[in-house]
Amino acid sequence: MKAIPFSYIARNLWVRRVTTLLTAGGMALVVFVFATVLMMGEGIRATLVATGQPDNVLLLRKGAGAEINSGIERAKAAMVESLDGIATDGEGRRLVSKEPVVLINLPKRSNGKPSNVTVRGTSALGLELRPQVRVIEGRMFRPGTSEIIAGRSVASGFRGAALGETLRFAQRDWVVVGVFDSDKTAFDSEIWGDAEQMMAAFRRPVYSTLVLRLNQREALAGLKAAIEADPRLQLDVKPETQFYAEQSEALATFIRILGLSLSVIFSIGAIVGAMITMFAAVAQRVGEIGTLRALGFRRGAVLVAFLAESLLLSLVGGVVGLAAASGMQAVDISTTNFQTFSEIAFQFRLTPAIAGQTLLFAMAMGFIGGFIPAWRAARLKIVDCLRAA
Amino acid sequence: MFLLRLLFKNAFRHRLRTVLTMVGLVVAICAFGLLRTIVDAWYAGVEGTSSTRLITRNSISLTFPLPLSYADRLRSVEGVTGVSWSNWFGGVYITERNFFPQFAVDAPSYLALYPEYVLKDDEKKAFLLDRQGVIVGRKLADTYGWKVGDQIALRGTIYPGTWVFNLRGIWDGVDARTDESQLLMHWQYLSETARKRLGRSMADYVGVYVVRIDQPDNAPVVSERIDTLFRNSLAETLTETEKAFQLSFVSMSETILVAISAVSLVIVVIIMAVMANTMSMTARERLSEYATLKALGFPPGFIVKLLFGESLVIALLGGGLGMALTLPIAAAFAKSVGTLFPVFLVSDLTMALQLAASVVVGLVAAAWPAWKMSRISIVNGLRHVA
Amino acid sequence: MTAAPPVIRIRGLSKSYQRGGQFIPVLEGVDLDVNEAEFIALMGPSGSGKSTLLNLIAGIDQPTGGTIEIGGVNIAQLREGELADWRAAHVGFIFQFYNLMPVLTAFENVELPLLLTSLGRAERRRHVEAALAMVRLTDRMDHYPNELSGGQQQRVAIARALVTDPTLIVADEPTGDLDRVTAAEVLDLLDELHRELGKTIVMVTHDPKAAARAGRLIHLEKGVLVPNAEVAADPH
């Protein structure tokens, strides 16, 4: 079947510029919402998933679910430290970090409103276990002091957390001696200090988490079995990557469902717009349709031509919306993660998959909106078209 | 009246286009209303607060507890007329998806501070007598089909282990803004059991204190008194009105709320573009008619009125239908999310805004075509073959 | 009388429409022969069925009864798709209002019928340029219809009608929208095509000046041919 030339299709959109702009504009807005939401979910997921190191394992009290709900006594921690399968560093120290994790309430710089920030008591071992973390300003805190280092997002987002500033909590003044960057992972939203000092200040003689590195990946099974075999150690053992993936699930899922429902509802408006535009296009060009059919172009060619026009229209809207959404990548946002009850900072993340899904969504709108008018155009009788022209 | 009939008839001359435009309007106005209602629902906790209640929490963060011994000292603060306390239990009912708030409270004093939870006398008595008893709000009971006498098992996360309770009563809220999605257990039972299972470290600690004051105006003063009392002690406090406390939760999700509010405007803009398109087409088609009217002596203002009028007729019809649909859809939505949004009501302000949005859409859509049409020269208009 | 069979042979042609529950006949039992290279004009009052007859001959409508043999093929029996292909190969159209695509240039408009063939780009270009040369519009080939006068647009339409070298040219009121001078120019062109290229032309017209150019006039009234009204006009 010979097709009606593409230049006919494309130029008709240009000739009716106002209509094209309004219709494509409406679609661009819907596409923007759709893409932005997907990018938000992906950003949260990427931030949290990247937080986990492949050979690290996290231990929490059984059933705790989140670090702040968990409590592991010193004795139990000591028992874990002595198990098989744990890697050692160059100096022969076992790579186990025993960390108390609490939330403190700090006012944001932007509006003064308070939000919960994660404070993690750790040590040089803790730093070793997270190779993605680098101190970019100042220096690491000295053990046994009230010095703290702040993650990049906390330092810039919360009052009193920048280099040289002081935070007051648990009846002590804590000086920020350094700012660290964790390569766009969850640690950017945390404050780190000396574990023993934290436990003393908060009067919590228990750890929240044990983080350790396996000497080889296969050691995980053995470690899990050893812990389960001991009834005194009521602990959950999770690879770090799995733990952090689970932490993002609720929030990412919520955003995705909310956003997709909204996009679908909005798309009805855009589809209606496309339908109106295409019906008008057909009505206006009835004479041309009759002429093309008289010349010998088939009904199918007419259907394809008008459908292509609608798809092209939606593609324009889709590209514009996607471009605008892509601009959101420059924006830093943060929100409270329901599961951890603390702030997490993240970015909008555009992936090729999201770009593809977005354009498909746009074209789907164009297809649905344009199909009935194109179908009607193809069903017209030649003589009726020519008479109406 | 003639004008109105003329507008109505004109609007439906091109039935398909008008119907499609109205479908778009219905969806847009309805979605706008629902989104606003979602944002309102987030603030519902704030609406249900009392101006004579203060919340005292650990100044470090909500996740740090306060000693039980503070209760007596709070009672003796000037301006305080009642003290109770509450711990967030945070248990899981069957799966994590079944989320609802659970608090361990000092029942006799707590129920006195929350008169809006209306309990039948016999149920209240049964609850107070049973240490292992719990009461739940009507909405929560309906969600899971619980009846008085049922046993409810929760899996603890903060307080590990399995906890079994007896449902002794179901409260009804005194008005629509009262939270009926909570479960309240005895703090005493929690403390004793935690001590047995987990040791002293988990017992004798309170999550927050709820304090009733004599007059709302005294809130700042009494808050200051309380916080001063505990400054430099083991656990420093931060006391604020119940409203401020609830607002702090809302502000945690601020980013999402701002996004939803922004998006609710986007939908209105989308439909505005669609309607503007429709009205432009309409105006173009009627060009020779408008020229004829002008030639006959009708002033340009009349043409403008025709276009605006027609646009408003369509916008108000579609918008009105959208408004009407918002209520049943909101009800269905509330049912499906269960206890996630304890209060889900379409406010009067929302409906007023929906109406305003319809009017604005109708006016903006017709603005440019009306302006263009009022300026057409009669000659050019008549020459145009529609 | 010519030895070759008529290029158009119509027997017992009828067409009626259904409106409500009624059948409204538009053409009844029309018999007509048209020889190759004849230039005939169909005339008659409004509602006589002349346009319907033209549409049937052109293959853009299908009869309710009878046969239409064009070049030996009974087009009344062709299915819709086959009819479309037949038209593309055998018919050139000239309409009263030119019916050009406003978004295509003169060149592209003339090229349209060639897109239905299997000719390559270069070949198509040659045919288009030849057709435009024939209607003397080579210098305007990149203009859009709204940049051309009525007469020029009709010339483009004629070029389009010629470009596939069709068996038959069908013209529906070709001078209906033109002033006297331009109409004459267009009619001159049609004459030229008829004489120099030997094209068979079937034309519907109200215009006596246009009718005068035809070799044979055929009158219709109320769906039937008016016999004895066939007049052989003076060949100009």
Per-residue pLDDT band for C3 (boundaries 50, 70, 90) equals: low
Answer yes or no: do B305 and B225 share one domain: no
| Segment A104-119 mean pLDDT | 90
pLDDT given for residue B338 in this prediction = 65
Give the nearest partner residue to A334 out of B27, B255, B280, using CB atoms.
Answer: B255
Chain A residue nearest residue C111, CA to CA:
A5
The pLDDT of residue B287? 80
- Residue C16 belongs to some domain of the structure: no
Of B20, B61, B270, the CB nearest to A104: B61
Number of domains in chain C: 1
In a domain, B90, yes or no: yes
Confirm whether C51 is domain-assigned.
no
What is the tens place of the pLDDT at every residue in C40-74?
A: 999 999 888 899 999 999 999 999 999 999 998 99
Alpha-carbon distance A363 to A359, whole Å? 6
Residues of A in contact with B35 (CB under 8 A): 262
Q: Please tell me which residue, B147 or B196, carries the higher pLDDT value.
A: B147
Q: Is residue B164 scored above 60 in pLDDT?
A: yes
pLDDT in tens, B64-90: 899 999 999 999 999 999 999 999 998
Q: Is the pLDDT of residue C207 over 70?
A: yes
Q: Which helix (H) or strand (E) holds C217?
A: strand C216-221
User: Tell me, what DSSP letter sits at residue A142?
Assistant: P
* Mean pLDDT score, C1-6: 70
The answer to whether the beta carbons of residues C65 and A386 sit under 8 Å apart is no
- Half-sphere exposure for A56 (CA within 13 Å, toward CB): 26
Whether residue B197 is found in the same domain as residue B259:
no
Residue from C129, C185, C138, C188 nearest C162 by CA: C129
- ipTM computed for the complex: 0.92
Whether residue C10 lies inside any domain: the answer is: no
Q: Which residues pair with A158 in a beta bridge?
A: A108
In a domain, B242, yes or no: no
H helices present in chain C, as ranges = 50-58, 80-90, 106-111, 121-134, 150-162, 180-197, 208-213
Cβ–Cβ below 8 Å for A8 and C104? yes
Does B19 touch chain A if contact means CB atoms closer than 8 Å? no
Report the pLDDT value the prediction gives residue A64, as an integer from 0 to 100: 85
Average pLDDT of chain A to the nearest whole number = 91
Distance from the Cα of B332 to chain A's closest Cα (Å) equals 15
Mean pLDDT value across residues C156-166: 94
Q: What is the bridge-based pairing of β-strands B205-206 and A342-347?
A: unpaired
Per the model's pLDDT, the better-predicted residue between B9 and C99 turns out to be: C99
Inform me whether the C-beta atom of residue B56 falls under 8 Å from chain A C-beta atoms. no
Residue ranges of the alpha helices (H) in chain A? 6-15, 17-51, 74-81, 124-129, 152-157, 195-202, 219-229, 240-284, 286-295, 299-327, 352-379, 382-388
| Touching subunits for chain B (3+ Cβ pairs under 8 A) | A
Q: Residue C165 is part of which domain span?
A: 36-44+79-232
Residues B301 and B165 in one domain: no
Q: Which helix (H) or strand (E) holds B365?
A: helix B348-374
The CATH number for C97's domain is: 3.40.50.300
* pLDDT attached to residue C19: 82
Contact B277 A335 (CB under 8 A): no
Identify the residue with better confidence: A269 or B202: A269
Q: Give the model's pLDDT for residue C170.
A: 95
User: Which among B16, B27, B281 is the nearest to A269, CB-wise?
Assistant: B27
DSSP B233: S
User: Residue range B199-211: average pLDDT?
Assistant: 85
State the residue for tokens 């309240």: B184
Instruction: Identify whether C137 is part of a domain.
Output: yes
Condensed to tens digits (0 to 9), the pLDDT of residues A181-201 reads 998 899 999 999 999 999 999
Amino acid at site C225: L
**Would residue B205 count as lying in a domain?**
yes
Nearest CB to B270: which of A62, A250, A266? A266
Kindly report, residue by residue over A151-172, the tens digit of the pLDDT: 999 999 999 999 999 999 888 9
pLDDT tens-digit map of B276-304: 988 888 888 888 888 888 888 888 788 88
**What average pLDDT score do residues B32-47 get?**
88
Tens digits of residue pLDDT in A362-386: 999 999 999 999 999 999 999 999 9
Q: Could you tell me if residue B50 is inside a domain?
A: no
Pick from C45, C79, C44: nearest CA to C59 = C79
Q: Do A11 and C104 touch (CB under 8 A)?
A: yes
Structure tokens at B280: 């432009």
* A19 interaction partners in chain B (CB closer than 8 Å): 277, 280-281
Q: Which residues of A touch B234 (CB under 8 A)?
A: 203
| Distance to chain A for B122, nearest Cα, Å | 36
> Quick one: three-class SS letters along B308-342?
HHHHHHHHHHHHHHHHHHHHHHHHHHHHHHCCCCC
The pLDDT of residue B117 is: 94
pLDDT at A13 over 50: yes
| Mean pLDDT for the stretch of residues A273-290 | 92
> Does residue B77 share a domain with residue B210?
yes
Same domain, B216 and B310: no
pLDDT at A85: 85
Of A2, A7, A297, the CB nearest to C104: A7
How much is the pLDDT for B302? 83
Question: Residue C228 pLDDT more than 70?
Answer: no
A327-345: pLDDT as tens digits: 999 988 888 888 888 889 9
In a domain, residue B23? The reply is yes
State the Cα–Cα distance between residues B198 and B203, nearest whole angstrom: 9
Confidence at C101, pLDDT banded by 50, 70, 90: very high
Please tell me the predicted confidence (pLDDT) of residue B294: 80
* Overall domain count for chain B: 2
Distance from the Cα of A270 to chain C's closest Cα (Å) equals: 26
Model pLDDT, residue B281: 86
pLDDT of A32 over the 90 cut: yes
Residue B86 lies in a domain: yes
State the DSSP code for C145.
G
Closest residue of C to A10, CA-based? C103
Residues of A in contact with C103 (CB under 8 A): 7-8, 11-12, 14-15
On whether the CB atoms of residues B113 and B122 are closer than 8 A, the answer is no
Beta carbons within 8 Å of C106's beta carbon, 6+ residues apart = C100, C132, C137, C140, C141, C142, C143, C144, C145, C148, C156, C159
Name the pLDDT band for C231 (thresholds 50, 70, 90).
Answer: low
B95–A contact, CB cutoff 8 A: no
Beta-bridge partners for C74: C69
Residue at C67 is within a domain: no
**Residue with the larger pLDDT of the pair C5 and C56:** C56
Beta strand pairing status for C216-221 and C231-232? antiparallel
Task: Tell me which of B174, B204, B235 is where a domain ends.
Answer: B235
Instruction: Please write the tens of the pLDDT for every residue from B246-264.
Output: 988 888 888 888 888 888 8
Same domain for B30 and B74?
Answer: no
The predicted pLDDT at position B147 comes to 94
Same domain? B129 vs B203: yes
Q: Give the whole-angstrom CA distance, residue B85 versus residue B71.
A: 8
Q: Is residue C230 scored above 70 in pLDDT? A: no
Taking the CA of residue A299 and the nearest CA in chain B, the distance in Å comes to: 23
Q: Is residue C22 part of a domain?
A: no
Residue C236 has pLDDT above 60, yes or no: no
Do B158 and B274 lie in a common domain?
Answer: no
Residue contact A272–B21, C-beta within 8 A = yes
Q: What is the pLDDT of residues A252-267, one digit of tens each?
A: 888 888 888 888 889 9
Determine the distance in angstroms separating the CA of C74 from the nearest CA of chain A, rounded to an integer: 17
Q: Count the alpha carbons within 13 Å of B223 in the hemisphere toward its beta carbon.
A: 20
Q: Give the DSSP letter string of B11-25.
A: HTTTHHHHHHHHHHH
User: Could you tell me the residue range of the domain that residue B258 belongs to?
Assistant: 2-44+254-383
User: Residue B52: its pLDDT value, please?
Assistant: 92
**Residues of C at the A interface, defined by Cβ within 8 angstroms:** 55, 58, 60-61, 80-81, 84-85, 87-89, 93, 95, 97, 99, 101-104, 108, 112-113, 115-116
